[in-house]
Each structure stands twice: as structure tokens, then as C-alpha cells.
Amino acid sequence: MALKIDKSLAEVLEWRAKSQKETESMSTEEQMAYIRQKAQDFMRRHNLHLTATDSSGRKMPYPPPLHS
């Protein structure tokens, strides 16, 4: 019996494979910066403002800012 994959899941898997290919030569730190930048770009484009809460209960913008 073949497993049927939902169209949405197929899109996520395609995005994941593309992202892995784009970042495979990067260090873990570079990969995290790349993903954070992509998330920030997406949020800016769509005018999204999210807040995260850290383990001590402090609120902060999400995704966290890139370190320079």
C-alpha cells in the first residue's frame, strides 16, 4: 500500500530539501543566521510582529535579532 502525501506536506518537504541544499556547506552558526534572516525578511514582507517568551518569562521579538 502506497502512502499518500498531502499537497501541503509535499510543499514543506520540497522547501526543506531546497533549504538543506542551500545551506549544506554552511556551519551550524551560518545556517542559523541564514534561517533567521529568511524569517525576518518574510515577517517584514507580511508586516508580522511576533513575540516569544524565554525560559525566565521575558518577552522578546521573534525571530531574535541577528548578532552583528
Q: Structural domain boundaries of the chain?
A: 28-68
Question: Number of C-alpha atoms within 13 angstroms, CB side, residue 56?
Answer: 2
In this prediction the pTM is 0.59
pLDDT tens profile 17-57: 998 999 999 999 999 899 888 888 988 899 988 888 888 99
Q: What is the pLDDT of residue 65?
A: 66
Q: What is the pLDDT of residue 25?
A: 96
Q: What is the pLDDT of residue 43?
A: 87
Residues with Cβ within 8 Å of 30's Cβ and at least 6 positions away in sequence, in order, are: 23
Distance of alpha carbon 10 from alpha carbon 8, whole angstroms:
5
Q: What is the pLDDT of residue 62?
A: 76
